[in-house]
Amino acid sequence: MVKVNAMSFAKMLRCLTDGPSTIRDVMHETGLHYVTTRDYLTALHKEGVIHICAWDRDSRNGPTIKVYALGEKTDAKRPKQTDGERQARYRNRKRINAAMGMQ
C-alpha cells in the first residue's frame, strides 16, 4: 500500500483544478514517482472524480498519453490510426534502425 501525504495530494488536486493535466504534469507538480501518480489518477478516474478529456501523442506519434480533467464526464475516445499511418510509422522506424546499423 502506498501512502501520499496531504501536501502531495493537495498539489495533485491543484494541478487538476488548474486545467487538463497528464500524468507527467501531475508527477512534476507533486514530486511523486510516475507509478504512484498513475495509481492515484487511475483511482480518481475509477471513482468518477476525473475523466479523460483528450489524448496526446507520444514520442512515436501515437495517441497514448491520457489527458485528465476534473469532473464526471464521458471519456474522450482514443483516436484510431489508419492502416496507412501505422505502416508509415513502421517503415520510418525500420529506416531509422537501418541507418543506425540495427536490425
Enter the C-alpha cell of residue 35.
507509478
Contact 24, 38 (CB under 8 A): no
| pLDDT digit string, tens, across residues 31-61 | 999 999 999 999 999 999 999 999 998 877 7
Say if residue 79's pLDDT is above 90: no
For the stretch 76-81, contacts whose Cβ atoms lie closer than 8 Å and that sit 24 or more positions apart, written own/partner, are 76/52, 79/55
pLDDT at 41: 94
- The reply to whether 48 falls in a domain is yes
Let me know if residue 93 belongs to a domain: no
CATH of the domain at 47: 1.10.10.10
Report pLDDT for 101.
80
Helix %, strand %, coil % for the chain, to 5? 50, 15, 35
Give the Cα separation of 90 and 12 in Å (integer). 37
On whether residue 103 sits in a domain, the answer given is: no
Residue ranges of alpha helices (H) inside the chain are 6-18, 23-30, 34-46, 83-99
Q: If pLDDT is split at 50, 70 and 90, which confidence band does 73 have? A: very high
Check pLDDT > 60 for residue 18. yes
| Count of domains for the chain | 1
What's the confidence (pLDDT) of residue 2?
55
